[in-house]
Amino acid sequence: MLENSSNILFTVRWEKNSLVLIDQRKLPAKLSYFRCKTYQDVAFAIRNLVVRGAPAIGVTAAFGLVLASKKSKAKNITSFQKDLKKAYSLIRSTRPTAINLQWALDRIIEKTRNLDSVVKVKQAIFREAMKMAEEDILINKSMGLEGEILISDGDTIMTHCNAGSLATVAYGTALGVVRAAKGSGKNISVVATETRPVMQGSRLTVFELKHDQIDVSLIPDTAVGYTMSKGKIQHVIVGADRILKSGHVFNKIGTYQLAVLAKRHKIPFYVAAPLSTFDLNNTLKDIIIEERSENEVKKIGKKLIAPKDVRVMNPAFDVTPPSLITRIITEKGILEPPYSKSIKKVFSNLF
């Protein structure tokens, strides 16, 4: 399933003892690949947005531990665990907001417990990472099938950032719902926001929808309210980087604005995310919103577009309160408000 087959975009793929990532810094100009041979390469790739999007960085992080484990020369479990811990800490430090990163690292570490030889641990780590990558695609497809019943033939869906195949191993979360609706024969159009300052909307969402021949229009972030007010949008669907048990959703900066405007225009606002994006342990005050470089705002490419000494705020994520969210689409069904209840229920049904 992870092999690079014909026309499908595989964002994360294991090939010949290394991890191959679509280099998203180069899109849409060039579809090229970044090969990670060490866990340090993986940390570089996540930190510098070679790969991004919560599920994709989770699976990438898991393969970071595979690479660390393959490179380790440790002869006994204690020194092997030391090598693994070093890799865990470096990869964990790359980006703070998407919980999938920590979730994936912890899931791999969990598999190393109670095994009595380095060989067995190495095998277990590799098996689990491969399983996670394959599961990611299956989960996205289930989520798509759950969500697509909300969409009618002829609808136009607004999305923000990129929650598509480029944000996952393949298929996508929010855009997985779009793909499933299209797959069931509905005629669907997408309106993608640019998503300043990193432009995941214009560079990535538009690229992958055009690649799959799904109708898409691009709008500046500033045109969201106007476009909604003209009655052109039937649904908003976004992904998530972390969802708290209260139903608060952390996602790309600007998501909150879309949710407020959707409410104003009575447009349903959906979040599509796998259960691995839910954080049942922390509360709002515990979560770090990543602040990124001021150059992302002050410059376009190398060109300065603001006075160079201006003070810049560049938060990469915001928080949308549950009161603005119409439904949360997961692989285990569609959650309805009050989310504190429906989230609790979906997790208690798992055990």
As annotated, the active-site residues are: 241
Residue 54 interacting with ligand MRU (CB under 6 A): yes
Closer of 173 and 320 to ligand MRU (Cβ): 173
Q: Binding ligand MRU by CB under 6 A: which of 11, 94, 173, 193? A: 173
Would you call 19 exposed, middle or buried from its count of C-beta atoms within 10 A (0-12, 13-18, 19+)?
Answer: buried
The region of 104-112, 163-171, 328-336, 340-348 touching ligand MRU under the rule CB under 6 A is: 163-171
Total binding residues for ligand MRU by CB under 6 A?
17
10-18, 52-60, 105-113, 300-308 -> range binding ligand MRU (CB under 6 A): 52-60
Residues in 263-322 that interact with ligand MRU by CB under 6 A: 316
Other CB atoms within 10 A of residue 20 CB: 19
What is the number of the residue whose Cβ is closest to ligand MRU?
Answer: 239
- Alpha carbon distances (Å) from 59 to 32, 42, 110, 305: 19, 11, 15, 36
CB 9, CB 170: distance < 8 Å: yes
Q: Please enumerate in sequence order all residues whose Cβ is within 8 A of that of 279, keeping only pairs 6 or more positions apart, or say none.
A: 99, 242, 243, 244, 245, 287
Nearest CA among 175, 185, 177 for reference residue 211 = 175
Region 330-349 residues binding ligand MRU, contact defined as CB under 6 A = none
Residues 63-102: x/- map of binding to ligand MRU (CB under 6 A)? Answer: -----------------------------------x----
The CA distances from residue 152 to 148, 172, 233, 235, 322, in Å, are 8, 20, 12, 10, 24
Of 9, 65, 167, 329, the one binding ligand MRU (CB under 6 A) is 167
Residue placing its CB nearer to ligand MRU in the complex, 200 or 320: 200
Q: Least distance (Å) from ligand MRU to the CB of residue 15?
A: 23
For residues 248 and 230, give the distance between their C-alpha atoms in angstroms, rounded to a whole number.
Answer: 28
Smallest distance, Å, CB 53 to ligand MRU?
A: 4
> Which residues have C-beta within 8 Å of that of residue 159, sequence separation ≥ 6?
174, 175, 178, 190, 191, 192, 193, 201, 205, 236, 237, 238
Provide the minimum distance between the beta carbon of 98 and ligand MRU in the complex, in angstroms, as a whole number. Answer: 6
Q: What is the C-alpha to C-alpha distance for residues 81 and 337, in angstroms, rounded to an integer?
A: 43
Q: In the complex with ligand MRU, which residue's Cβ is closer, 74 or 321? A: 321
How many residues does this entry show for the chain? 351
Closest approach of Cβ 72 to ligand MRU, in Å? 29
Establish if 236 lies at the interface with ligand MRU (CB under 6 A): no
In sequence order, what are the beta bridge partners of 217?
Answer: 191
107/252 with CB nearer ligand MRU: 252
In the complex, the smallest distance separating the C-beta of residue 351 from ligand MRU, rounded to whole angstroms, is 25
Q: Which of 197, 239, 247, 254 binds ligand MRU (CB under 6 A)?
A: 239
**If binding is defined by CB under 6 A, does position 53 make contact with ligand MRU?**
yes
Task: Give dist(CA 24, CA 344) in Å, integer.
Answer: 35
CA 79 to chain centre: 33
The residue ranges that bind ligand MRU (CB under 6 A) are 52-55, 98, 161, 163, 167-168, 173, 200, 239-241, 251-252, 316
